[in-house]
Amino acid sequence: MSDVTVRAPAKINLHLGVGPLRPDGFHALATAYQAVSLFSTVTARPATQWSVACDGQAGIDISGVPLDESNLALRAARLLAEHAGPAGTVQPVSLHIGKGIPVAGGLAGGSADGAAALLACDTLWELGTPRDELLTLAGELGSDVPFALVGGSASGHGRGELVTPLEDNGAWTWVVLTFGEGMSTPAVYGEYDVLHADIQLPDPEIPSRLVEALRTGDVAALAGSVGNDLQPASLRLRPALVEPLRSGLDATAYAALVSGSGPTCLFLCEDDDHAEHVAAALSAYGQVTVARGPAPGAEVL
Ligand code: ATP
């Protein structure tokens, strides 16, 4: 095989419930993920040395993407190679990332690269790694990586890596507002900890009405059940997000929320016409894209 290209989606958190800090330093999460139609690709090619390169699609700023051993796509390829057998079992690869997901935006773009690299290398090396083993490796790489393999809509427990598909019969339209400057996920969790310093956090849960809204595809019901426990912390660190969230609602979006740790903001709309109207009200704040969910998980192109 000469090369393999895999496409993987961005994720949004329809609900992000953050619970107590665990002994390993991660918070217990209960989240409802949805994959949306913003994609990155990873191409794996046989090579004599391991390497990774990255290009941005559609004006995406890739200056924050590390091109050393810390790159998640490269770490994924290395981890799968180790899993496959002793050194030399598989040939090194050169990886090329086509970034279609804004960096550090709360859309799990790095995780999508990791998931895409796992599947691309598994296919290139003809390993046929069982799905559950790929998901375990994905979970070792990062909390959001397993979901990028699975896609659709799904619950995430543990630190987010324990993923179970949710029935989703909706055709959801989101206006996605992204910004040039990303936010650090650890900084947002740090602020969350400050805000909850004296509070005993309950175990987080996904609202049953959200699960029901996905099953029935009811946009008003979904709008009433989305939520993000990290949002107050993100807004404290980036108060400039308050105004676009309000403007989206004023422009009749059904719901407005911060995606994951932010700063990307999400606006739930009825259909394309409605999304166009909401998008027009937001274009002064940042880059506006219309995305649809649920999108498929990582797939070989
Ligand atoms: P997180 O997954 O931490 O919630 P996020 O969804 O907000 O993050 P990402 O695009 O995954 O955003 O970026 C998080 C960090 O990872 C940023 O510092 C970014 O520079 C880095 N990053 C982005 N792409 C990659 C990649 N392919 N490999 C390694 N790091 C990456």
pLDDT in tens, 41-58: 999 999 999 999 999 998
67 pLDDT above the threshold of 90: yes
Q: Which residue among 6, 63, 72, 144 is best mutated to probe the pocket of ligand 1, counting the most ligand atoms within 8 A of its Cβ?
A: 72
Using CA atoms, how far apart are residues 301 and 251, in angstroms rounded to an integer? 38
Q: Look at ligand 1, atom 3, and give the residue with the nearest C-alpha.
A: 185
Using CA atoms, how far apart are residues 58 and 154, in angstroms rounded to an integer? 28
Residues carrying an active site annotation: 11, 144
Q: What is the pLDDT of residue 58?
A: 80
Ligand 1 mean position to 173 CA, how many Å?
A: 24
Pair of tokens at residue 117: 């690299």
Strand order in the sheet with 287-293: 255-258, 265-269, 172-178, 287-293
The three-point CA angle 252-183-237 to 5° equals 75
Residue 104 near ligand 1, beta carbon < 6 Å: yes
Percent with pLDDT over 70 in the chain: 100
Range 288-291 contact pairs with CB under 8 angstroms and sequence separation of 24 or more: 288/175, 288/176, 288/177, 289/38, 289/175, 289/176, 289/178, 290/173, 290/174, 290/175, 290/176, 291/10, 291/36, 291/37, 291/38, 291/174, 291/176
Q: What is the pLDDT of residue 18?
A: 97
Q: What is the pLDDT of residue 59?
A: 83
210 pLDDT above the threshold of 80: yes
Question: Comparing 198 with 267, which gets the higher pLDDT?
Answer: 267
Q: Which residues contact 301 (CB under 8 A, 6 or more apart)?
A: 5, 6, 7, 41
- Asked whether the beta carbons of 220 and 269 are under 8 A apart, the reply is no
Using CA atoms, how far apart are residues 107 and 179, in angstroms rounded to an integer? 12
75 pLDDT above the threshold of 80: yes
Residue 106 near ligand 1, beta carbon < 6 Å: yes
Taking alpha carbons only, the member of 98, 124, 121 closest to residue 134 is: 121
Query: From the DSSP assignment, how many helices (H) and strands (E) are in the chain?
Result: 10, 12
3-state secondary structure of 158: coil
Using CA atoms, how far apart are residues 9 and 152, in angstroms rounded to an integer? 9
DSSP element (H, E) containing 134: helix 131-141
Q: What is the mean pLDDT of the chain?
A: 97
171 pLDDT above the threshold of 90: yes
1 pLDDT above the threshold of 80: no
Radius of gyration of the CA atoms of the chain, in A: 19
| Percentages of the chain per state (helix, strand, coil), in multiples of 5 | 35, 30, 35
Q: What is the pLDDT of residue 239?
A: 98
Q: Look at ligand 1, atom 21, and give the residue with the nearest C-alpha.
A: 65
Question: Mean of the pLDDT values across residues 225-235?
Answer: 98
**Each residue of 11-35: pLDDT tens digit?**
999 999 999 999 999 999 999 999 9
Question: Mean of the pLDDT values across residues 1-7?
Answer: 94
Q: What is the pLDDT of residue 279?
A: 98
**Each residue of 85-122: pLDDT tens digit?**
999 899 999 999 999 999 989 999 999 999 999 999 99
Counting Cα atoms < 13 Å in the Cβ hemisphere of 242 gives 8
Q: Which residue among 103, 230, 238, 265 is best mutated to probe the pocket of ligand 1, counting the most ligand atoms within 8 A of its Cβ?
A: 103
Using CA atoms, how far apart are residues 210 and 48, in angstroms rounded to an integer? 49
Ligand 1 mean position to 119 CA, how many Å?
A: 19
- Asked whether the beta carbons of 246 and 278 are under 8 A apart, the reply is no
Q: What is the pLDDT of residue 13?
A: 97
Indicate the Cα dihedral angle 9, 210, 169, 299, nearest 10°. Answer: 20
Ligand 1 mean position to 103 CA, how many Å?
A: 6
Ligand 1 mean position to 92 CA, how many Å?
A: 23
